[in-house]
Amino acid sequence: MDDFDGQRNDDSRNDDSDMRTSQSWIIAGLMLIVPTASSAQLLPGVQQAVPDLIGRAGDTLDGAGLDRLSPARLADRLAAVRAARIDTMLRNHGDRIELDDRREPARRGVILLTGVDGGMIDTLRAAGYGVDSMMIEGLDLPVTRLTTHKGRSLAKALRDVRRLAPRAQVSADNLYFPSGPALPLTTGTLAAGRIEGRAAGLIDGGVARHPALTGPIEQRGFAEGAPRASAHGTAVASLISGDGVVKGASPGAPLLVADVYGADPAGGGAFALVRALGWMAARGVPVVTVSLVGPANPLLDGAIRLARDKGVMVVAAVGNDGPAAPPAYPASYPGVIAVTGIDGRGRLLPEAGRALHVDFAAPGADMQAGTVNGGKGPVRGTSFAAPLVAGRLFARGSIAALRAEATRGKPPVLCADCRNKD
């Protein structure tokens, strides 16, 4: 586990202030709209800070409400939710989170590089950057992490590093969000075990012990306080391998779980996801579910390509920011199997995001998933469609088999019979 925090500084405080000012109309509108937590996609570390924004009992917007909105109004409301999420993160965890030069949230004061040589490292050290180089397990990927010096924002530091190391690939440690609801914050007992042999992979929060999860589960943490049982991770895991009160697409499948959130408000970073992918590749995992969304990140892109070369198939959700939102990553990367969600009537979820390609649709609403207390509860979002496709892929073994099984359509629908009902 690495805790690689930068220092808060005057430039970044100005950046955060600008962000809040530019979004004030959105936040004000959100206070009147009050959408349901099911569209919030919040990081575990920040869910607790926003119940006044998105959780007022008796004044919520459910799935049926989303269906009734025009595309323009839906886009506005989903944009408001995303803006509020980022604003809340910056206000409550500005010591760990700031905006990069694209105004995307990232771990404060951390820059990630690949393709550097000794001369570049010497130049960066001379310029005052802290330098830490390592090899990513399982991917044979050398990565250099820089810490910015106090008094410089991440956005300005990124521009400076690109000037000092023009041949390197430079990025922030961008944050990725669960592409499902802000599930209850209660945590259960962490499922524990050791796996020998073939297993399905899950990169998410930790998974709680659950009677439906009858197969072995091995977990490893890639964030502060991880592994730690989470509601989102448990729900997704139950839809992969549940065999009981919740039935997954591959009942009883062993699970290798990488917790990239733990108790860290800045969890879910690109570097954590890359290390988790490396662990999966090193363990020979054939299929990995990533029900997380965020911006394009060159380090994550490269890691996914290397993992794919080692036989790892990545299944990712397209997110819940709506079709007008920017393309979701990692679902949009070439070779990643991108999944959207459908409701009980077979209709695409109106809040489903988009990717540069969409390979399959699967149930993502009007369904149940495992809870941390050992029961089941309702879920909605593309987070819960992706594990159904991943579980089916793990059981069938090939994309060709999935295509043969899926119903025809754009996108083809897979696992329509996998929906867990009341």
Active site annotation includes 204: yes
> Which among 204, 259, 264, 301 is annotated as catalytic?
204
Judge if the upstream peptide bond of residue 254 is cis by omega within 30 degrees of 0. no
Name the DSSP class of 223.
S
Number of neighbouring beta carbons within 10 Å of residue 28:
11
Residue 160 in tokens: 């400076």
Paired strand residues for 338: 316
Find, among 380, 366, 372, the residue nearest to 422 by Cα.
Answer: 366
Distance CA 65, CA 250 (A): 33
DSSP state at residue 148? P
The CA–CA distances, whole Å, from 122 to 106, 165, 176, 297, 342 equal 25, 10, 31, 25, 52
DSSP state of 349: P
Residue (of 257, 260, 283, 256) closest to 271 by Cα position: 260
Q: Out of 153, 232, 264, 359, which one is annotated catalytic?
A: 232
Helices 270-282, 298-309: inter-axial angle, 10-degree rounding? 10
Dist CA 386 CA 78 (whole Å)? 21
Q: Cβ-count burial of 67 within 10 angstroms (0-12 exposed, 13-18 middle, 19+ buried)?
A: middle
CA 136 to chain centre: 20
Specify whether 383 is catalytic: yes
The answer to whether 414 and 405 have CB atoms below 8 angstroms apart is: yes
From the DSSP assignment, how many helices (H) and strands (E) are in the chain?
12, 16
Q: Residue 80's closest CA among 409, 324, 385?
A: 324
Paired with 137 in beta bridges are none
List residues with catalytic annotation.
204, 232, 383
